[in-house]
Amino acid sequence: MIQTNAPILLEIDGLHASVDGTPILKGLSLVVRAGEVHAIMGPNGSGKSTLSKVLAGHPDYEVTAGSVKFLDRDLLALEAEERARAGLFLAFQYPIEIPGVSNAAFLRQAYNTLAVARGEEELDPIEFDDYINERIKVVELPASFLERSVNEGFSGGEKKRNEIVQMAVLNPKVAILDETDSGLDIDALKTVSQGVNQLSNAENAIIMVTHYQRLLNYIVPDFVHVMADGRLIKTGGKELAQELESRGYDWLRSQASTPGAV
Amino acid sequence: MSALTDSRHWLASALTDSQQPITTPSVTQGLQERARTYLQDAALPTAHEEDWRFMTLVPLLEHTYQTPARAGHILLPDISRFILPEAEGRRLTFVDGYFSPELSNLSELGSIVLRPLGTLNDTDGPRALGSIAPPESDTMTALATLFGREGACLEVPPGVNEPRPIHLLFVSSGAREGVRIAPRIWISTGPRSKATVVQTYVATHETVQAVHAITEVAVGEESELTHIRVQSESRMGCHFERCAANLGLRARYTLRNITLGGRLSRFDVSIDGVETEMNATLDGLALLAGDQEADTRSQLIHRKPHGQSRQSQRMILDGCSHAVFRGLIRVHPQAQQTDSAQSSRGLLLSSDSRIDTKPELAIEADDVKCAHGAAIGQLDEEQLFYLRARGISESDARALLTFAFAAEVLENIPIHSLRKQLQAVVLGRTQRAESKK
C-alpha cells in the first residue's frame, strides 16, 4: 500500500556496479517506503539479478559509484551478514544446496543470530521447534523438510518455498524476491505468493525482481519499474506490467529517453 | 645417503630392542620368528617405492623407541571420557600395550569370546591368526608382528546377534617418551552372526611414541560386522596400522575409520572378498592440523561374482598438514557383476595444507559397474554467501560448512556417545581453526 508519508526504508541513488570489470548497473535510483510492494521487470541481461546480489552484498560485485541507504545506514559499508542482521533479505533465484547442514539447524542459527542483533532472546532447540512449525505453515512446507539438509534434493518449487520460510523466520524490513516465480508451476506459484502476501505488512516492503508479469497477478505491486541496460527506464502502476506482457520490452527501449525515471 | 643410513640404523636398533626378555604371547611366537627371518633382508620403505611415494618415515626415524617394561599408571577417571556407556560390560582395555584388567569390564559378554592374546596358548587361539595379514606382507607388517606383545582376540560365535557394541580401548599413558606399542587384534564372526566393534586409540598425555598395530578380521558366512576405528593418539606420535579383512559368502563388513591424531600415521587396509556376494563399506575421515601427516592406503578386492563395495574418503586439512589417500579397487576375472563405487573428497582450509589422492581401478572382469571420483577444494563461495546472506558471520559459516563436510561420515557412526564425542571434537577443531584467522 502507498502511504506518501511512510518512512523510507531503502534509498538507492545513482548506483553503478560491475562484475569482473564489466559495468552492469549504470546509475540506478529507487526509493522504497514502508508498506510498499515494488516490481522490477526487465528483459534478460538488463541487470535485475545483479541489483539483487549487489544489495545483498555478494563479494563478486563491485560498486563503482552511487549510494544505498537502508534504514538510515550506509548499506554499502556493511558486510553481507550485517545487511541481513539489519533487516535486508534476499530470496535467491537459485537457492544453494548445503549437504550436511540440517534445515532446522540452519534456520535456528540464522534466527538466533538476528535475534541477538535485535537485542531479543535466543531460542533453544525446543522453543525454536514450536516457532518453526508455526512459520512453515506460511508456505505449507511439510515439517519433514526441516530434518533434511538445506535445499539438498529439493525440487525447484520446494527450494522457493524454503526461501519464503526463511523470510518468515527472519522477518525482514525489506525483502528482495529474485525471480521467485521461475521454475514454479501454477499451484506452487499460488502457495508461494500467498505466503509472501501474509508476510507483507505496513512496516516492511517487498521488491520483486521478475521477468514475467505472471507473479504480479498474485502479489499485486504498488509500483512497476522497467529495467534496461542497468537503469530503471520507466515507472508506473500495476497496469504497466500488463502493458509489458502484451507489448514486450522493445517499445520502451526505443523511447528510453527518460533515464532514471522514478 | 644419510637418510638411508639413519633408516638402517633405526631398523637394526629396533630389531635389538625386540630381543629384550619381555614376555611374548605363546600364540604369536611362530609368527614372530617368521617376521624376524623376513626382516633380516628387509629395509624400511622409502619414497622410491610407489606405496610410499607421498610420505616419508622421517618423523619416525627422528626418535628411538623401546617397548616399556610396564604400563603407565592410569586410573579409571583418567579414561572416563573415552569410555562408551553403550559398551559397558564389553570393554577390553590396554595401557601402553599391556592388558589392564582394572580398566576392562567383561561382565556382559554373553556368549561372545573376548580375551587378551597373552592369555591364549597355542591350541587355544584362532587357527587363522597371522594368515590374513601374514608377517611377510611387507616390512611394516613384519615389524608390527615382531614388536607385538599383547592384543585382543574377539570371537563372535555362529548365529549370535549382539546389538550392543564391543569396545577395544588402547590407551597411551605418555608416562615415558619414546614408548613402542604394538597391539595385535583378531576379530572373527561366525556364520550368520552380527556384531559391532569399536577400536579406539587414545592418549592421556601428548608424547613421542610409536604404535605398530595389526588388525585381522574374518567375517563369516552371512554374518554382519560393523567395525569402527578411531585413532586420536598423541599429535607427537607415529601410528602404523595394517588392517586386513576376509569376507566370507554373503558377508557384510562396514569399516568406518576416523583419523584425528598422530604426527605421522598410516592406515593400510585391505578388504578381500574371497567368496561370492561380498558387501563392503569403507568410510574414512581424516581431520588434520598443524604438522600432522596421515596416509590412508586401501585395497578393496573382489574375487567372486555379485559383490558390492562402497567407499567414501573425506579429508579436512588445516595448518601445514598433509593427507594421502590411495584407494585401489581390484576386480578379478571371476568377479562378474561387481558393483563398486569410490569417492574421495578433500577440503583444504589453509594454503599450506596438502592432499595427494590417487584412486586406482584394476578391473579384469567385463560385466562390472565401478564408479570413482576424487575432488579437492576449498569451501564453496556460493554456500558461504548464502549463509552470510542469512546473517551468519563468515567465520561461523566456514565452521558450519567444514563441520557439514565431516558430518556425513560421523552421522553413520551407530553409537550415540561416540558420535557425539566425535562431533564435539570436529566442532572444536573447526571453530579453533577459525578463531586463528
Tens of pLDDT along chain A (262 residues) come to 778 889 999 999 999 999 999 999 999 999 999 999 999 999 888 999 999 999 999 999 999 999 999 999 999 999 999 999 999 999 999 999 999 899 999 999 999 999 999 999 999 989 999 999 999 999 989 999 998 999 999 999 999 999 999 999 999 999 999 999 988 999 999 999 999 999 999 999 999 999 888 899 999 999 999 999 999 999 999 999 888 888 888 887 776 554 444 4
CB distance from A166 to chain B under 8 Å?
A: yes
Using the beta-carbon criterion (under 8 Å), do A96 and B393 form an inter-chain contact?
Answer: no
pLDDT beyond 90 at B163: yes
Using the beta-carbon criterion (under 8 Å), do B391 and A110 form an inter-chain contact?
Answer: yes
The Cα A119–Cα B268 span in angstroms is: 53
Residue with cell 563405487: B341
Interface residue of B390, B423, B427, B430 to substitute, partner A, most A CBs within 10 Å: B390
Nearest to B244, CA basis, from B269, B211, B219: B269
Q: Considering only alpha carbons, which residue of chain B is nearest residue A86?
A: B391
Q: Considering only alpha carbons, which residue of chain B is nearest residue A167?
A: B390
In B, which residues are within 8 Å of A98 by CB distance? 383, 386-387, 401, 404
Query: Residue B8 — very low, low, confident or very high, per pLDDT cuts 50/70/90?
Result: confident
pLDDT of residue A201: 95
Question: Tens digit of pLDDT for each residue in B197-237?
Answer: 999 999 999 999 999 999 999 999 999 999 999 999 999 99
Using the beta-carbon criterion (under 8 Å), do B400 and A113 form an inter-chain contact?
Answer: no
pLDDT beyond 70 at B335: yes
Cα A57 from chain centre: 13
Nearest to B390 among A79, A99, A110 (CB): A110
User: Measured between alpha carbons, how far is residue A74 from residues A29, A68, A113, B201, B292 in Å?
Assistant: 15, 6, 21, 54, 45
pLDDT of residue A212: 85
pLDDT of residue B23: 66
The Cα B344–Cα A35 span in angstroms is: 51
pLDDT of residue A4: 81
pLDDT of residue A261: 43
Residue with cell 614376555: B23
The average pLDDT across B309-323 equals 96
pLDDT beyond 90 at B256: yes
Q: How many of the other CB atoms lie within 10 Å of CB of A152?
A: 15
Rounded to the nearest angstrom, the minimum Cα separation between A248 and chain B is 33
User: What single DSSP character describes residue B1?
Assistant: -
Nearest to B392 among A58, A83, A113 (CB): A113
Q: Considering only alpha carbons, which residue of chain A is nearest residue B385?
A: A58
Using the beta-carbon criterion (under 8 Å), do A113 and B404 form an inter-chain contact?
Answer: no
CB distance from A172 to chain B under 8 Å?
A: no
Question: Tens digit of pLDDT for each residue in B294-305?
Answer: 999 999 999 999
**A-B Cβ pairs (cutoff 8 Å, strict):** 73
pLDDT of residue A229: 93
Contact B68, B402 (CB under 8 A): no
pLDDT of residue B4: 65
Using the beta-carbon criterion (under 8 Å), do B387 and A98 form an inter-chain contact?
Answer: yes
Q: How many CA atoms lie within 13 A of B413 on its CB side?
A: 25
Higher pLDDT, B88 or B430: B88
Share of chain B above pLDDT 90, in %: 82
Q: Considering only alpha carbons, which residue of chain A is nearest residue B406?
A: A100
Using the beta-carbon criterion (under 8 Å), do A85 and B391 form an inter-chain contact?
Answer: yes
Rounded to the nearest angstrom, the minimum Cα separation between B342 and chain A is 18
The total number of residues shown for chain A amounts to 262
CB distance from A154 to chain B under 8 Å?
A: no
Burial of residue A257 (number of CB atoms within 10 Å: 0-12, 13-18, 19+): exposed
Using the beta-carbon criterion (under 8 Å), do A79 and B394 form an inter-chain contact?
Answer: yes
Using the beta-carbon criterion (under 8 Å), do A101 and B389 form an inter-chain contact?
Answer: no
In A, which residues are within 8 Å of B345 by CB distance? none
Question: Tens digit of pLDDT for each residue in B273-291?
Answer: 999 999 999 999 999 999 9
pLDDT of residue B433: 55
Share of chain B above pLDDT 70, in %: 97
Using the beta-carbon criterion (under 8 Å), do A117 and B401 form an inter-chain contact?
Answer: no
The average pLDDT across B17-29 equals 74
Mean model confidence pLDDT for chain B: 93
Contact B27, B140 (CB under 8 A): no
The Cα B210–Cα B239 span in angstroms is: 6
Q: Cell triple for residue A192? A: 508461494
User: What single DSSP character describes residue B117?
Assistant: G
Rounded to the nearest angstrom, the minimum Cα separation between A50 and chain B is 15
Q: Provide the 3-class DSSP secondary structure of residue B157.
A: coil
CB distance from A153 to chain B under 8 Å?
A: no
pLDDT of residue B20: 63
- Whether the model clears a pTM of 0.80, i.e. scores above it, the answer is yes
In A, which residues are within 8 Å of B390 by CB distance? 81, 84, 106, 110, 113, 166, 170
Which segment of B57-71, B199-213, B332-346 scores lowest on mean pLDDT? B57-71
pLDDT of residue B226: 98
Question: Tens digit of pLDDT for each residue in B377-386?
Answer: 999 999 999 9
Nearest to B393 among A81, A98, A170 (CB): A81
Nearest to A261, CA basis, from A213, A220, A228, A239: A228
Q: Cell triple for residue B360? A: 586406482
pLDDT of residue B15: 85
